[in-house]
Every structure is written in structure tokens, then in C-alpha cells.
Structure 1
């Protein structure tokens, strides 16, 4: 059975009869504290839960009802805030605290300068910070540039949009979320204004600052995090990281096995040009040259058949990495 009950704002909302007392308790508390029930902020919801203690299951039920009421009136659900989720789930809170502690130790070791290590470091630092904040790998992989906004005030949290939900990503001395985010958006802004990897490589190699290139992406639907190849090139057509790649990057840093990301050695060029031989039109070819050529191609074809097995082995190793990571970051997703 559903009943219509005041929504605390314009319009009304329909709640199941068993949820009426929860909503009534919340609206009474809001009236007593001179706060509107809709929209309620995560801070106000946390105060409500503190002022009305109950068993964890009861508190989770209350948050679920309040979230439902907000969604039905087109407002962000305050109960999706990470701080509230941790408070209601002791296991999740303990796991994320452990992850945050490891991330806080790893972040100072990740370079944000030098080429191409600084490019990788800025992207990976944001991935680690988001994972420590409780954002799942699938969510991280799906993030678009417009999904995160910063006020410019380093004491204010980042605001993350996932679907219709709004999540605060708080700043802390151990994990300076805003600074980490801006370091990566400086890269994105620079690449938007200066096409070509060589230009940004020169900036990193010279130790130049990228400050001022960060841009607000309020309507930009391009992926926030993209692949980077070993030479520091990002895709010409915007392409997001996969959830598996996000998990592998996180695992590598948390386990202390992240690659150094140094450029492969350049091939040395001979000082002198090779001797040029003129074509001898009167030279006779070996009578067995054709058989040797077809045999070489047959051998090459046989060698290339192992490539599929090699790729399968790489995928199996990636699956193994993901499984190991699950044991470290259980419930993060």
C-alpha cells in the first residue's frame, strides 16, 4: 500500500505505508532544527542519524527511505555520501581506511614531473585517490570530464556525479584530492590547447609548470581517464580506460610493483650510410630461391600462430591480477 505524504517542498511523494514513520521522524527532526527535509544535505542527514541513534540495520533503513524520497522529487540522494556509507557499514569503512592508509604512503612516491613518468603519475594518482574515496573501478572507468567539479577552494570537497547521484570527495592532508585532480586536468587542458605529444613532453622534460591549463569541463563528455602507451601518447579519438585496467593500475601501486615508465632506448643510427650496390641485371638467381622464400613464409606463419596463445596468457594474468586485487580491496566496488 502506498500513501501520499508531504514532500517538504513543492509537490508530494508516495511512500509505502511501512516507510511513513521513518519519513515522519525525519520531517519532525527537520522542523525542530529549522532545516528543509527536501533537499537535505549529507551533513544534515548525518546530524539526523547522530541525534536519533538506532541499530545499524534501522539506520540503513532510514537512509534508504530518505534517499527514495529525494530521488522521487528529482533531488540527489544525501545518503550516497561516502562518509555516511562508511558510518553505516563498519566493514566497508575499515577496508577503505586500510586502503586510504596505503594510498597515502604511495602517493608521495608517484612522480608528477619527468617524461613520461609524470604523465602516468598524474593519471594514476587520481585513480588511487578515487579508489581510496570508495569509488568503484567500474565507476572510475566510466567517469567523464564533466562528472567531477572543483570549486577552486582546496578546503572544499570535489563533487562527483555518478548517474543522478552527487558524491562529495573530501580533501584531507594525507590524500589532497583537489590538488591531485587539478594536476591531471592541467594535463588534459594542455593537450586540448597544444595538440601533439612532443609539446607536452618538452614541458615535462624542462620541468615547466602546467598551472593555468586546468579547465572546467561542465559540458565535456570525453573520458576523464584515458590509456597512455609506453611513449606517452594518448588516443587520438577519446577512449576511456577499462575497469580491468583501472583495477590493474591500482593493484600495481598498492603492491609496490608499479612500472617506472621510462622511455624505451632509442635505436642507434650508423654514422655513415650503408654502401649502395647497383642492380646487376646479368646476375643469375639461385634456382632454389623460390623454395627458400616459401619456406621462410611458412615458418613465419607457424611462429605467428603462437601470438594468440600469448595474448590469452596475458589475459589470464590480467584476470589473476584482478582476483588478487579483490582480496586487497574487497567491497571497494
Structure 2
């Protein structure tokens, strides 16, 4: 006899009225499975109503959104003579403002490593090695 294949995840998942399953997959409760089995056993399974047409969901706006018309024509944007200068100035300011980000992230990474090392020492009960110099970030 062959072995049953093993598939991770729930056996029965709830399906909403539009036929969608939850993500990530969640298993149905035993009471929910029992209710559906009992409904099928008695010949009264739950109804799955089809989704209403889009025109009913939109109401009167569906008539306005007729898709048979031509697509809109592109419009040429009138750019100010300072358009490119303003953009270049903004990039310069951002470059100056963000110049020390790599130093900040390096310091943060160092502090995280120290915290991890201290946590591992506490969990292992090992004696502390020589103390590292404390670097305080001021910013």
C-alpha cells in the first residue's frame, strides 16, 4: 500500500460569497464544517449567488462610463522655464540632506550587533568579553 501524501495547510477553508479564499489560508472551524455538511445532508446546501453585473453595482454611472467611445487624446504639458532648474536644485538639497545616512545606518548596525551579542551572552550565561567602547549617536 502506498503512503498518503502530506500537504501542509488546512483541509477546509472558508470561501466568501465571491468565491475567494482568505490569504493566508485559514482553516474552517469544526462547527463551520459541521454546518455545511449538515446542510448538504438535508438537501439544503448554502446558495452561491452570482455577483451582480457591474452596471448594477455602479448604478447610473454605468451609463456614463460607456466604453465604446474613443480614448482621450494626450495633452502636451506646458513646462515652466525653471522646471528643470527646480528639479536639479531639489536633488542637490536631497543629496546634501541624506549625505550622513550611511554613517547613521552603520552606527545602528553596530548597536544592533552589540545588543545581539549581549542577548546571546545572557541566554548562554557566558562571561562577558572585554567591553566595547560605547559610541553614542547624536543627531
How does the TM-score come out when normalised to structure 2?
0.37
Structure number with higher helix proportion: 1
Q: Larger relative CO (CA 8 A, sep 6+): 1 or 2? A: 1
How does the TM-score come out when normalised to structure 1?
0.16
